[in-house]
Chain A
Amino acid sequence: MTLLKVNNMSKMFGGLKAVSNFTMEIAAGELIGLIGPNGAGKTTAFNLLTGVYEPTTGEIEFDGQNVIGLKPYEINQRGIARTFQNIRLFSELSVIDNVKIAYHSHVKYNLVESILRIGRYHGEEAEIEEKAERFLEIFKLADKKDEISKNLPYGEQRRLEIARALAAQPKLLLLDEPAAGMNPQETHKLMDMIRWIKDEFKLTILLIEHDMSLVMGVCERIYVLDYGTIIAQGTPQEIKNNPRVIEAYLGEEVH
């Protein structure tokens, strides 16, 4: 079943074509990589998919419905959650509050209930707390739940961002360079974790990565972006041997 279908999407900034003729189809349950050299437009593509920018042309269909023109929060509520390349945590808040906030769109108690602390308030707050703690356990952050998130080491901040995105209970998870700044061991562990959460939560994952070796190891299919255009797609093996990809990465090693 197709979960995400992008057809001919493009984005112009003034006269600059940041993304053009971007076409992509992702089936439910897939783990897809989006790679490309620096400045190829990977993050812009994410921003288009999540409603931060509106595409100049093209269609985006998620779960059978058009999502163009929706605000980022509406797209999140439809089931797309993301992380950011330059980590964007709620940095002055505790680790657990970061995760709790992502639950917000699933909370049903209303303003009056929260002011008077009646009705569904207590039950739901307890449930949120419990679920948030569970996510922190999965990401090995449980013992740090009351720490202020900006005080976490870098790698843990990245994990927290993923935990937060998962707490929104998405169908599609977009990860923007989740392993950036991590050492090889950390990266390896992270990739195992990504694979595991994908199966555990029946997720579909699209991840941007700069590091080719990482994508090759974990992704089932890969799209290659260069100068804003998809220049190749296929299995890791196909991508590795594609001359256009090698050309785009000229100067960078292809492992």
Chain B
Amino acid sequence: MEAGSIAHQFVQQLINGVSLGSIYALIALGYTMIYGILKLINFAHGDIYMVGAYVGFFATSILKLSFFPALLMAMVVAAVVGMVIERVAYRPLRNSPKIAILITAIGVSLFLEYGGMLLVTPQPRTFPAVFAAELYNFGGIVINSQQIVILAISIALMIILTYVVQKTKAGKAMRAVSFDTDAAKLMGINVDQTISFTFAVGSGLAAAAGVLVGIYYNSIDPLMGIMPGLKAFIAAVLGGIGVIPGAMAGGIILGIIEAMVSGFISSTFRDAAAFGILIIILLFKPSGLMGKNVREKV
């Protein structure tokens, strides 16, 4: 490849990467917030994203809702599902050994996947084209109008989230609980409610990602959440788990790296690249790009 075509390819993959990355970022936000507050790797989070995609699918195909109401509906339903999961499966285990909670999360994940299969059949569904995909060509670089929508909505949601976390009372409670649960409790913060709220927000964001992916790839199925869920977790670790801006940055960076690997090497190595990044980050900077190192006191 000559220099010009490499540069061309690079820009094209950069665009693909950023739009893929913003999806990862949306899912990663939920992972990171839930980890921040409960120190739990919520393996079921990727499946919430699947639930969101299905709600979006039924809202547009059966209820004939247009894009925004469908998106909103998916987010609300997923938020409720997230809160129910926390209430039923995680809350009784809050003081149990960590591994028990992790196994429960795996159980919830399997339940959503296979329960979903029972409910909506394992067959992939074709997501209705909510709005036409137009291709814009800028001197050989192709941008899909859906990529623009994905990016715009992701950015909007991240701005809203940042506002909620930084400025609202619920957001401040969230940060307080995540910093020191016991102290927050002593300060009169309702910890249970705050954790519920965190699950609701995180699940809502994942559902938005699910709907956006449904529109972009046209196809959804009950197991669609497994890989993106893992990738989003990697993104959260990359950015520094528990750190909200870290999840955003981590998602985008991971998306770009994956797009570059697919574009320049081979798409079969895309997943390996993501896991490779995970290992490298864990070995050399386990606190992530934006996290802080914490050391056990002797």
A residues at B contact (CB < 8 Å): 43, 47, 52, 84
Contacts of B298 in A (CB 8 A): 43, 47, 52, 84
Encode contact with A along B198-228: 1 for CB under 8 Å, 0 otherwise: 0000000000000000000000000000000
- Count residues of B near A (Cβ-Cβ below 8 Å): 1
What total count of A-B pairs have CB within 8 Å?
A: 4
Contacts of A47 in B (CB 8 A): 298
Closest residue of chain B to A44 (Cβ to Cβ) is B298
Separation in Å of the A72 CB from the closest CB of chain B? 9
Separation in Å of the B52 CB from the closest CB of chain A? 42
CA distance A43 to B298 in the complex (A): 8
Separation in Å of the B95 CB from the closest CB of chain A? 16
CA distance A22 to B295 in the complex (A): 24
Separation in Å of the A111 CB from the closest CB of chain B? 27
Separation in Å of the A71 CB from the closest CB of chain B? 14
Closest residue of chain A to B297 (Cβ to Cβ) is A86
Which B residues from 258 to 279 make CB contacts under 8 A with A? Answer: none
Closest residue of chain B to A50 (Cβ to Cβ) is B298
Contacts of A52 in B (CB 8 A): 298
Closest residue of chain B to A46 (Cβ to Cβ) is B298
CA distance A192 to B298 in the complex (A): 28
Contacts of A43 in B (CB 8 A): 298
Separation in Å of the B296 CB from the closest CB of chain A? 10
Separation in Å of the A29 CB from the closest CB of chain B? 28
Instruction: List 4 A–B pairs whose Cβ atoms lie within 8 Å, in order of A's numbering.
Output: A43-B298, A47-B298, A52-B298, A84-B298
CA distance A84 to B298 in the complex (A): 8
Encode contact with A along B235-270: 1 for CB under 8 Å, 0 otherwise: 000000000000000000000000000000000000
Separation in Å of the B179 CB from the closest CB of chain A? 20
CA distance A52 to B298 in the complex (A): 8
Separation in Å of the A51 CB from the closest CB of chain B? 11
Closest residue of chain B to A52 (Cβ to Cβ) is B298
Separation in Å of the A156 CB from the closest CB of chain B? 23
CA distance A47 to B298 in the complex (A): 8
Contacts of A84 in B (CB 8 A): 298
CA distance A10 to B298 in the complex (A): 18
Separation in Å of the B293 CB from the closest CB of chain A? 11
Encode contact with A along B281-298: 1 for CB under 8 Å, 0 otherwise: 000000000000000001
Separation in Å of the A14 CB from the closest CB of chain B? 11
Closest residue of chain B to A176 (Cβ to Cβ) is B298
Which B residues from 152 to 207 make CB contacts under 8 A with A? Answer: none
Closest residue of chain B to A47 (Cβ to Cβ) is B298
Separation in Å of the B92 CB from the closest CB of chain A? 22
CA distance A52 to B295 in the complex (A): 12
Q: 3 closest pairs, A vs B, by CB?
A: A52-B298, A47-B298, A84-B298
